Amino acid sequence: MKNYQVRLDAWQKAKYAPPPEQDPTPRQPSMIAMAPMRDGVKLFTELFLPEGPGKFPVIFHRSPYPMYRPSRHDQWPIDRYLEAGYAFVFQLTRGQGQSEGTFHFLKDEVEDGYDSINWLAEQTWCNGNVGMEGSSYAGGTQLSAARAKPEALKCIMPTAFVGHCVSAFPFIGGVPARGILMQWYPVANIESWDELDAPYGDMSVLKHPLWGEALRKRPLVDAAEAVLAGDKLASWREVMSHPLDDDYWQPIHFTDEELSELDLPMFITDGWYDMTVGPIDYFQRLEKVDPNNANRYLLVGPWGHAQTFRSQLHSNSHGEHKMPDNGAVDLLAQRIAFFDRYLKGDKNTTVQADRVRVYITGAPGSDANQWRNFPTFPVPGTKERCLYLHSTGNAHNFPQGGALSWDRPNQEPTDSYVYDPGLPTPCEAEPFRDRRDIEIRTDVLTYTSPPMDAPLTILGEIRLILHAASDAPDTDWFALMTEVYPDGKSVAFHGTLPALRSRYREGFDREVFLKPNEATEFRLSLGPAGHQIAAGHCIRLSIFSANFPACDPNTNTGNVVATDTEQRIARQAVFHDAMRASHLIIPVVTLNL
């Protein structure tokens, strides 16, 4: 335990040391209030008002995280809002910090958001115009509030939000995100990273005496008993007991019809190195139901999760991907421009150069690594190219085994591997590093293209059509696309964690179990990317059946996931022949860079 603590202390100091801030010191709020909800619960609310009398438009941030209270540490800094003539309001969601009530994962945010905005509109210092901002969970609170249509809510800026809970998080393609979610609950309680007994996001937490046991324990519904307590443990059990897209998640998920009713200006932000897929997914769906809305914007940068909201982190790199000098954006200035236009009504304010602004990443020295502006997304002129899997039945023989080609296969033998949930394929200890230590495993299949003759610019959602079989009634499929450099290193270039639990292949609202050893088509979204594969570099696809401990290993039994205590070994097969041509669908654009 002592050696583990030394590692923990060093890791936290390196990863979570307070970044340089323009104004990192705590701010004293103009007042603190306990905002009343319809059921009598009161929510802790910090109010910051500009100097002088008057009524002001309000920027509202609803968050579950006590550590981000401006009175504890001003990490925005919000004085720029105040100087621009806005009141800023920070509120802790139900059950969090000093707020009353019991926490439920995203379940109370529609009614609480509505009640809170109505309460703000009644305050003597509010001019009746409220806009919302915030990332991650605080992005979800905005969409929930907008769903209720409070009159005072004029615009929202949801950033790096989950979107669809059973396919994105806390279930990824129907696979429980055991390690990620279990570690998230303590983060939602703390006021300082120093309070954690295990570093968030560090998969070596398996060596921790309590967390290691919790990440392996079955049944899943009881796995967090040693590391969570109170309403967080109750929430864990509640969430893990609802893997289907059913009435439980209805208040959180949006149908296309419900999205079409979100008739308010919206600025959506994401990062290519973030695992959330909600922002781009929601923007694309909104474009389908309400095309070319002039008051809707998308910004995607070369950023990870925290960087999508906090500019002071833009100097941080991502593994092998160094942050380019032109990758930084003054996000607070961007937010002020949006609010000036839609809260103050300043029509002369330009929010951004076009409705969509994205950064195309690429190898150092390439003609990528530039910001590009587009009228919509997917961008006009996008073409889909199919990259087919090939092998002589030896794709587990890394690295000479499987191949990728633009040509369809003819008759080729099947690739196979054994997946043992007792010895699951591990996830990366740190993302965006060389993956060859995982790709070399016998429970991983790899398919590698020849070196690219010319740069290939990928922009949009990558998909995998996988023809496969298992001798188990249920199993998981993971797939990861990487760029292979001339020196052999294999590095992911976007942050999505693609997965699909077989029983949900026909929809996340139903379970359809496999017939043993029967070839079945699986459609996996590998998520969105904006990256240029350099000339002379290769594309590699890895296929495997576990990503532990980030995700809960499938027991392969077909039993109820939350209460299953059994497990069995599964024998997996991947097909790539004339009738069952497994392939990637890659969105490709030609850019005049």
- From 185, 136, 133, select the one nearest 161 (Cα to Cα): 136
- The 3-state DSSP class for residue 64 equals coil
- Work out the pLDDT band at 149, boundaries 50, 70, 90: very high
Phi-psi region of 111 (alpha: psi -120 to 50; beta: other; left: phi over 0): alpha
Phi-psi region of 177 (alpha: psi -120 to 50; beta: other; left: phi over 0): beta
Share of the chain above pLDDT 70, in %: 96
Q: Which residues contact 421 (CB under 8 A, 6 or more apart)?
A: 546, 553, 554, 555, 556, 567, 568, 569, 570
Residue 8 in this model has a pLDDT that exceeds 50: no
CA pair distance 554, 544, nearest whole angstrom: 12
Residue 11 in this model has a pLDDT that exceeds 50: no
Span between the terminal Cα atoms of the chain, in Å: 53
Q: Compute CA 286 distance to the chain's CA centroid, rounded to the nearest angstrom.
A: 18
| Tens-place pLDDT, residues 181-200 | 999 999 999 998 889 988 88
Q: What is the mean pLDDT of residues 435-459?
A: 97
- Work out the pLDDT band at 74, boundaries 50, 70, 90: confident
- Of 39-48, 215-224, 339-348, 359-368, give the lowest mean pLDDT range: 359-368
How do beta strands 87-92 and 126-135 pair?
unpaired
Q: Which amino acid is at 231?
A: D
| Tens-place pLDDT, residues 206-259 | 889 899 999 999 999 999 999 999 999 999 999 999 999 999 999 999 999 999
Residue 20 in this model has a pLDDT that exceeds 80: no
- Work out the pLDDT band at 5, boundaries 50, 70, 90: very low
- Work out the pLDDT band at 73, boundaries 50, 70, 90: confident
Q: Which amino acid is at 253?
A: H
22-166+238-362 CATH: 3.40.50.1820
Which residue's entry shows tokens 């967390």?
Answer: 211
**Domain ranges within the chain, ordered by starting residue:** 22-166+238-362, 383-589
| Tens-place pLDDT, residues 480-495 | 999 999 999 999 999 9
Residue 34 in this model has a pLDDT that exceeds 70: yes
* Residue 39 buriedness (CB in 10 A; 0-12 / 13-18 / 19+): exposed
Q: What is the pLDDT of residue 24?
A: 61
Q: State the CB neighbour count (10 A cutoff) for residue 56.
A: 21
| Tens-place pLDDT, residues 391-410 | 999 998 888 889 999 999 99
Q: What is the pLDDT of residue 593?
A: 55
- From 402, 385, 532, 522, select the one nearest 462 (Cα to Cα): 385
Q: Please work out, in degrees rounded to the nearest 5, the angle formed at the alpha carbon of residue 185 by the alpha carbons of 276 and 88.
A: 70
| Tens-place pLDDT, residues 410-431 | 999 999 999 999 999 999 988 9
Residue 518 in this model has a pLDDT that exceeds 70: yes
Residue 543 in this model has a pLDDT that exceeds 60: yes
Residue 553 in this model has a pLDDT that exceeds 50: yes
- The 3-state DSSP class for residue 104 equals coil
What sign does the dihedral 246-110-270-281 (CA atoms) show?
A: positive
Q: Which amino acid is at 284?
A: Q
The strand pairing partners of 583, in sequence order, are 388, 465
Q: State the DSSP string of 397-447.
A: STTTSEEEESSPP-S-PPEEEEE-TTSPPBPPSSTTS--HHHHTSTT-EEE
Q: What is the pLDDT of residue 4?
A: 40
- Confirm whether 22-166+238-362 and 383-589 share one CATH topology: no
Q: What is the mean pLDDT of residues 100-123?
A: 98
Token pair recorded at residue 420: 């043992």
- Of 91-100, 184-193, 537-546, give the lowest mean pLDDT range: 184-193
Residues in the chain: 593
Residue 167 in this model has a pLDDT that exceeds 60: yes
- Work out the pLDDT band at 276, boundaries 50, 70, 90: very high
Q: What is the mean pLDDT of residues 450-467?
A: 97
In contact, 387 and 539? CB cutoff 8 Å: yes
In contact, 318 and 431? CB cutoff 8 Å: yes
Residue 509 in this model has a pLDDT that exceeds 60: yes
383-589 CATH: 2.60.120.260
Residue 47 in this model has a pLDDT that exceeds 70: yes
